[in-house]
Amino acid sequence: MTEITINNITGLVPPYSGFACNAYGVYCEYLGEIIVTPVTLTLPPTFNSAPSVGIKIIDSTGCESFKVIDCIDIPPEEKEFQDGEFFYFMDNELYQFQ
């Protein structure tokens, strides 16, 4: 994924600062100022092959919102599981072998 479109921002006061982060919100890169939505932001090259990206929005009062977006959509038939009596699909649902 090289771009992300933000259709709306609620609960925060404009203008906003947009950041792309890893899924844990630790490593972040500034994307730019957001004044109106919808807006399309170009992600830095370091996120081109990332399986997910965290989008952090900080408003003019210092409040922030953070959301992780999955970049890769894996069809259900291709999900991996653990061997044994119990296993977890990648959507973290627990299943028990019969």
Torsion of CA 7, 56, 71, 75, to 10 degrees: -80
pLDDT of residue 3: 87
The 8-class DSSP code of residue 84 comes to: S
Dihedral sign of CA atoms 28, 73, 34, 60 in order: negative
3-31 pLDDT per residue, tens? 889 999 988 999 999 999 998 888 999 99
User: Please, what is the end-to-end C-alpha distance for the chain in angstroms?
Assistant: 39
Q: Are 59 and 72 in contact (CB under 8 A)?
A: no
Residues of the chain with pLDDT under 70: 1, 72-98
pLDDT of residue 14: 93
* Domains (range + CATH), the chain: 3-70 (2.60.40)
DSSP 26-83: -SEEEEEEE-SSSEEEEPPGGGTT-SEEEEEEE-TTS-EEEEEEE-----GGG----S
